Amino acid sequence: MGVALYIVEERKVPGIETHVNGKALGRSKSLNKLARQAGVRRLMEFFSQDPEEAAAFIEDEGGEVPTGGFPAEQWFSCHEGSVTVRGLLTHLAANPTAARDAVAITEDLREFESILAKLAEAGVRWHLAIDF
């Protein structure tokens, strides 16, 4: 199976499919380094999760929910996310050996770029999520 990063939209928009592969991003160990080199925010800074979903996941795994629960779900503008995604794409295009998995990362980032553009046009915010 494996870990994958994906986009969660604040609300569904008819005609916009947000499914992405995201596996290259999920398994990459170089995303933080690439963001630093590109001078953009780390992609994981856009991570958020519904607190109830987080609690259910922890409980299903046999863990205990922290006292006070989890922070509220956060939403980000597509513009903010696009700045990071485009910065990473530009950096990888100029430095194709910056990551061992640069081709696969680029494919995932292009999917993110397309979806964020569509969500921005619809005025919908987003956040990053992780599929385990």
Per residue in 4-49, pLDDT (tens digit) is: 999 999 999 999 999 999 999 999 999 999 999 999 999 999 999 9
Residue 62 lies in a domain: no
Residue 68 lies in a domain: no
16 and 78 in contact (C-beta within 8 Å)?
no
* pLDDT tens column, 103-121: 999 999 999 999 999 999 9
> Which residue range(s) make up the domain with 96?
4-57+73-131
Residue 111 lies in a domain: yes
**What pLDDT is attached to residue 58?**
84
Q: 64: which 2 tokens?
A: 């205990």
With H, G, I as helix, E, B as strand and everything else as coil, classify residue 126.
strand
- Counting Cα atoms < 13 Å in the Cβ hemisphere of 41 gives 13
Residue 26 lies in a domain: yes
Residue 104 lies in a domain: yes
Residue 65 lies in a domain: no
Q: What is the mean pLDDT of the chain?
A: 94
With H, G, I as helix, E, B as strand and everything else as coil, classify residue 48.
coil
103 and 30 in contact (C-beta within 8 Å)?
no
User: Crossing angle, helix 78-94 and helix 102-122, to 10 degrees?
Assistant: 150
Question: CA torsion angle for 17, 126, 35, 71 (degrees, to 10)?
Answer: -140
For the chain, the domain total comes to 1
Q: Residue 98 has what DSSP assignment? A: S
Indicate whether 1 pLDDT > 70: no
Q: Is 89 exposed, middle or buried (0-12, 13-18, 19+ CB in 10 A)?
A: middle
Residue 64 lies in a domain: no
Residue 40 lies in a domain: yes
